[in-house]
């Protein structure tokens, strides 16, 4: 525990030092003099230029012409004030090489008369990729006024599925006249029904690129993010943080002051052996404060995401929409707001990350594997990424799917808003007939949900260590028979119990247990229950009794009490003895001075048998 606290303090100190140094490196006024053209002054026919990166880190310019002025007619359910957008046509060598407005160009700043009017937000779907929309910078700047992530956790509510814009006057594109523009996420593009005078534009957002997740783990994270209106794609380019000699251009250090409007940025959710990042463009900067994307990322409001620099490997043409492929490089700051009109953040201040280590061994093939990574300390994405990462660690180590037995150990540190630290550890064993990987992942996620969603106080993990050991062999014990060997039983006496247990496809054996019963009960009929936490081989939900409820439902008075109760609660490998008056199961009587007697085993215990006992008089 002391070691973990020292690590946490070192991480905090490193972040603090980075922030102090940044205060000297980043002149606060370097970008503060950018002139802004109010939306009311933008006119159809005006020409200017935009800035973006389509390869490497080099910022290049392209030509822009305003085709139309649009207003939000509030057909969508967006809670934001009625706003404006500009329809533009882009051109030039940069656009030709990119194939048009590409996914990853969102946020690319647009200037008229050297004044910033806003950032590229979307492009025309499957039609003319040189036509797109621009979000006015005035509406983006308003994002800086929102409170950052603090007492209230993000709601996780997705952003609106679409925005409908009405043109101030009809625009003729590709020989057809349009009065309305429907702006949608790429995931909704095939579902929309357009009116005759409507054109569909899709957000120029990069997909979330993932590395280190494949197969079922990748499918899981794709499914979890489906409702967030964003696609997940497996990256073909491996990110390396430790081998600068392989590509000096990629890893060349760039001064933080060099990150300017037009620079590519990454919004990173996981970093290390597992990477999850989406690419965009920096729209505007004032000192250390930045704006980007010109539309929402996940739309979860106040957030704490990692902002990185990005290296663009290539821009690809596509019939649907061109797209950039890139990799995150150095960490440069934090994304603090994820709103309809864009994202906001701060260069020089890094978000808190949760270091995670998952160690997996397969006894059947004698293979061990450890993955180390960090997840942003943000409740809106933490559990989704953790679940997929656990699945990846398991499936890549076992190199198979299906059932089996697994021993798990989890140690984790967490802290509340007052920086009070808690440390918990628990071991358990599981058996699944069909999918042991999903069984383990679901159990571990349930544990973390009890932490992040507890009703007592706001708590987030600060470090997680998971150790898993698998084998295909079914390691279960079925309770076959329970016999009470006493010829007579009196209050205050000792029950001599023999339990016949049957390992799967192996000979049965007997476990003898002596149970002292209370001396303050009279002659009455009692029930002795002997059980495991699983009634059937395929059933993994614990029996819901007062004794075996999950932490969030147990009777502790605080978060810490409930978690300590969970740590000491029965495991799947325990043989559990309880005694109660017939017809009154909730009134448990003491056995050996406790409400239940726990006998540990090395197997998953299955079944439940009840015996009736009649006490004799003295």
DSSP 197-216: TEEEEEE-PPPEEEES--HH
68 membership: H or E segment, kind and range: strand 60-72
Per-residue b/e over 605-615, b at no fewer than 16 CB within 10 Å? bbbbeeeebeb
* Rounded Cα gap, residues 521 and 490, in angstroms: 9
pLDDT in tens, 367-409: 999 999 999 998 889 999 999 999 999 988 888 889 999 999 9
The tokens describing 498, both together, are 């023999």
Specify the pLDDT at position 2.
40
pLDDT in tens, 183-214: 666 555 555 566 677 777 766 666 888 999 98
The number of beta carbons lying within 10 Å of the beta carbon of residue 77 is 9
Mean pLDDT on 10-35: 48
Name 132's bridge partners: 88, 123
For residue 188, the 8-state DSSP code is G
The tokens describing 12, both together, are 């905090």
* Pairing label, strands 476-484, 494-503: antiparallel
Is residue 12 predicted with pLDDT exceeding 70? no
Q: Note the helical H segments in 246-381.
A: 248-251
* Rounded Cα gap, residues 202 and 595, in angstroms: 61
Specify the pLDDT at position 446.
92
Specify the pLDDT at position 202.
67
Query: What residues have CB less than 8 Å from 17, skipping those under 6 apart?
Result: none
Is residue 16 predicted with pLDDT exceeding 50? no
Banded pLDDT at 237 (limits 50, 70, 90): low
Burial (CB < 10 A; 0-12, 13-18, 19+), residue 390, is buried
Specify the pLDDT at position 226.
74
pLDDT in tens, 148-164: 864 333 333 333 445 67
Is residue 487 predicted with pLDDT exceeding 50? yes
Q: For the chain, report the end-to-end CA distance as a whole number of angstroms.
A: 53
Nearest-CA neighbor of 456 among 410, 412, 420, 413?
A: 420
pLDDT in tens, 518-542: 888 877 889 999 999 987 654 444 3
Query: What residues have CB less than 8 Å from 272, skipping those under 6 apart?
Result: 212, 241, 371, 372, 373, 374
Specify the pLDDT at position 576.
96
* Helix (DSSP H) and strand (DSSP E) numbers for the chain: 8, 30
CATH 3.30.1490 boundaries in the chain: 353-471
Higher local confidence (pLDDT), 187 or 74: 187
Specify the pLDDT at position 497.
96
pLDDT in tens, 106-148: 999 999 999 999 999 988 776 788 999 999 999 999 999 988 8
pLDDT in tens, 407-456: 999 999 999 989 999 999 999 999 999 999 999 999 999 999 999 999 99
Strand order in the sheet with 604-606: 509-516, 494-503, 476-484, 604-606
- Residues across the chain: 618
Higher local confidence (pLDDT), 555 or 19: 555
pLDDT in tens, 78-104: 434 447 899 999 999 999 999 999 988
Backbone angles phi, psi at 114, to 5 degrees: 60, 20
Specify the pLDDT at position 242.
42
Predicted model pTM: 0.80
The three-point CA angle 531-537-541 to 5° equals: 70
Backbone angles phi, psi at 159, to 5 degrees: -75, 170
Is residue 580 predicted with pLDDT exceeding 80? yes
Banded pLDDT at 75 (limits 50, 70, 90): very low
Is residue 343 predicted with pLDDT exceeding 90? yes
Tell me the CATH number for domain 353-471.
3.30.1490
Specify the pLDDT at position 184.
64
Is residue 250 predicted with pLDDT exceeding 70? no
Name 613's bridge partners: 526
**What percentage of the chain reaches a pLDDT higher than 70?**
79
């Amino acid at each position: 525990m002391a070691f973990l606290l020292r690590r946490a303090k070192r991480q905090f100190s490193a972040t603090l030092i980075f922030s102090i140094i940044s205060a000297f490196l980043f002149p606060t006024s370097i970008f503060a003099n950018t002139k802004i053209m109010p939306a009311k002054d933008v006119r159809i026919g005006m020409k200017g230029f935009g800035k973006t990166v389509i390869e490497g880190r080099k910022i290049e310019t392209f030509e822009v012409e305003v085709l139309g002025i649009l207003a939000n007619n509030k057909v969508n359910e967006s809670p934001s004030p009625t706003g404006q957008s500009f329809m533009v046509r882009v051109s030039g060598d940069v656009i030709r090489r990119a194939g048009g407005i590409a996914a990853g160009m969102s946020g690319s700043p647009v200037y008229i008369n050297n004044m910033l009017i806003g950032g590229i937000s979307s492009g025309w779907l499957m039609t003319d990729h040189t036509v797109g929309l621009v979000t006015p910078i005035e509406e983006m700047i308003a994002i800086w006024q929102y409170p950052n992530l603090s007492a209230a956790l993000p709601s996780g509510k997705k952003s609106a599925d679409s925005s409908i814009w009405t043109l101030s006057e009809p625009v003729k594109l590709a020989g057809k006249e349009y009065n309305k523009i429907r702006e949608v996420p790429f995931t909704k593009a095939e579902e929309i029904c357009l009116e005759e005078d409507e054109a569909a534009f899709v957000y120029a957002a990069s997909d979330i690129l993932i590395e280190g997740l494949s197969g079922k783990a990748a499918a899981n994270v794709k499914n979890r993010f489906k409702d967030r209106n964003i696609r997940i794609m497996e990256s073909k380019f491996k990110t390396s943080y430790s081998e600068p000699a392989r590509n000096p251009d990629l890893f060349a250090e760039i001064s933080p002051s060099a990150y300017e409007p037009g620079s590519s940025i990454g919004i990173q959710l996981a970093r290390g052996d597992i990477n999850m990042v989406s690419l965009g463009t920096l729209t505007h900067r004032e000192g250390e404060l930045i704006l980007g994307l010109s539309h929402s990322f996940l739309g979860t409001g106040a957030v704490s995401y990692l902002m990185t620099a990005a290296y663009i490997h290539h821009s690809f043409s596509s019939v649907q929409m061109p797209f950039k492929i890139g990799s995150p490089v150095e960490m440069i700051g934090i994304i603090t707001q994820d709103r309809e009109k864009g994202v906001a953040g701060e260069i020089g201040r890094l978000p808190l990350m949760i270091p995670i280590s998952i160690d997996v061994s397969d006894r059947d093939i004698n293979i061990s594997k450890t993955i180390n990574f960090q997840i942003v300390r943000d409740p809106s994405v933490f559990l989704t990424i953790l679940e997929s990462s656990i699945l990846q660690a398991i499936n890549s180590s076992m190199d198979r799917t299906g059932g089996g037995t697994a021993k798990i150990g989890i140690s984790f540190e967490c802290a509340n808003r007052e920086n009070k630290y808690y440390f918990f550890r628990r071991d358990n064993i599981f058996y699944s007939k069909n999918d042991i990987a999903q069984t383990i992942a679901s159990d571990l996620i349930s544990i973390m949900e009890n932490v992040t969603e507890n009703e007592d106080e706001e708590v987030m993990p600060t470090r997680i260590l998971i150790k898993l050991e698998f084998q295909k062999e079914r390691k279960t014990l079925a309770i076959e028979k329970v016999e009470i060997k006493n010829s007579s039983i009196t209050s205050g006496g000792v029950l001599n119990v023999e339990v016949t247990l049957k390992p799967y496809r192996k000979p049965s054996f007997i476990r003898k247990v002596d149970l002292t019963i209370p001396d303050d009960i009279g002659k009455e009929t009692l029930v002795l229950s002997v059980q495991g936490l699983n009634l059937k081989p395929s059933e993994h939900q614990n029996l819901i009794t007062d004794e075996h409820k999950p932490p969030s439902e147990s009777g502790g008075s605080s978060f810490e009490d409930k978690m300590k109760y969970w740590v000491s609660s029965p495991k799947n490998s325990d043989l559990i003895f309880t005694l109660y008056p017939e017809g009154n199961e909730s009134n448990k009587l003491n056995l050996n001075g406790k409400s239940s007697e726990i006998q540990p085993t090395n197997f998953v215990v299955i079944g439940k048998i009840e015996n009736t006992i009649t006490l004799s008089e003295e």
